Structure 1
C-alpha cells in the first residue's frame, strides 16, 4: 500500500518531532509508521506518564497525535494548544465538546484536526456514502439502516465512524431524523446495529432495502495500519498551519 500519494506534494522527507498522546495499540501502530518514514517520537504518553503533558515537554514537539480516551481527550487537546503545538485527534466518545474545542482553537489561532477515522479508504467511503444518500433522497421506497462491527475492546457504540456516516445519510435522506442503536422499525429513525467481535478492526455497512431490490455499500479494514498511516499523513500536512481541519482538506 502506498501511503505517499496525497495531494499538495507533502514533503515527506521533512523530519518531525511527534508527541504521541495515547500509547495503546493505535499509538504503537502510528509510531511504527512514523519512524519508518523518518520521523522522531519524542513523547509517549500513557496512563503512567501523564507528567509529559506539561507545557515544558509538549512544546518541544512539532505536532501531537492524540488517540487517548473520551475522558481525557478534551484536556489533552487544550494542553497542546497551551504549548502552541498542532494537534491531530482521533479519539471518539467525547464529541459533545468538539464544537467548544474548535471555537477555542480558532480564538487562539492554533491548529486542530479531528476525524472519526483517519483511514484514507474510509474517507473515500465517506464521499461515496454522501453521494449515494443524495441519490436516495428522492426514493422513499428504500429504507436505510446501518451495521458496524469492531473488536470487543472498543469502548463506544456506535463507533464514531458510524455516527459520521449516519449524519451524512440524515443530511440528505431527510425522512430519517434521528439514529438509534438497535433494530428499531420506527419510520423516522436510522437503525445502527453495533456488533463487537474479535479480532475485527472495523467494518461499516450501509443498507438501502426495498421490496424490489437492495443496495449495499461497505468498508472493511484489515488492520490498524490504514488508520495509523492516515494519522501520520495528517500530521505531516498540518505542520505550519492554523485553523480547524478535517481529513477532507488533507485528501481532496
Structure 2
C-alpha cells in the first residue's frame, strides 16, 4: 500500500493559554502545520514548536489564515485579493524566520479554517492564496482539498498540490467538510476514526454524513491537534495504518 503523510495543526496556544499537546503530537505526525500568528500562536511558542519539529525530523508547514485571532480563523472575511496576498506573504515570511532561528525550515503551506473552506470554491481568494505562495517560493507544495479551485489556481502557477483528508471530520455528499456548527461534524472515537482513515487510504473513499460513499484523493491525513483526545486519536491512526502495511512519511 502507498505511503501516507500525517499532519496536525500545532502552535495554536497564545501566551498562558495552551491548546493541545504539541510535544506529544510531534512524536506521532510527520508534518506540522504551524500557526503564523493570525489565527493563533505567539512568537515564543511558535519558535518552540519549530525547534522541536526540527529536532524530531518533522516537516514544518506555514498554516496561514485570515486575520482573526478572536474567531480562531474560523470566520469568513471578505478581504480584498491584494490584501489577502500580502497577509499570506507576511505570515509565511514570519514563520520562515522563526523556523530558521530554531534550526529548521518551512517546507510547505496550508490554509487554515475559514480560509481553507472558502478557497474550495471562491476563485478570487483561491487565486490570491496561490499567488502569495508563488511569490514567496514557487517550490513550496500546498496542502488542501483535491478538486478545489485553489488546486486549479495553484497548479496553473506551477505549484505542487497535495490532497488532504481529515481523519476526524465528517464529509458532505459533495466531498466538502460538514460545518462545525452542525451535529456530527467532528468525530471522537479513536478506533472508528483509525478504521475510517485506512479506508480512505486503501480504497480512496469515505462515507459521507448521509451514508453514501464518496471518492477522496489523499496524500496526507490531518489529525487535529486541538480536538479532545487528539493524541490518542493520532496514535490510533498511526498504529492502524502501520498495521495495515502503510508506510508513514512526509510528502516533502
Q: With the length of structure 1 as denominator, give the TM-score of the two structures.
A: 0.34
Q: Which of the two has higher C-alpha Rg? A: 1
Q: Which has the higher strand share?
A: 1
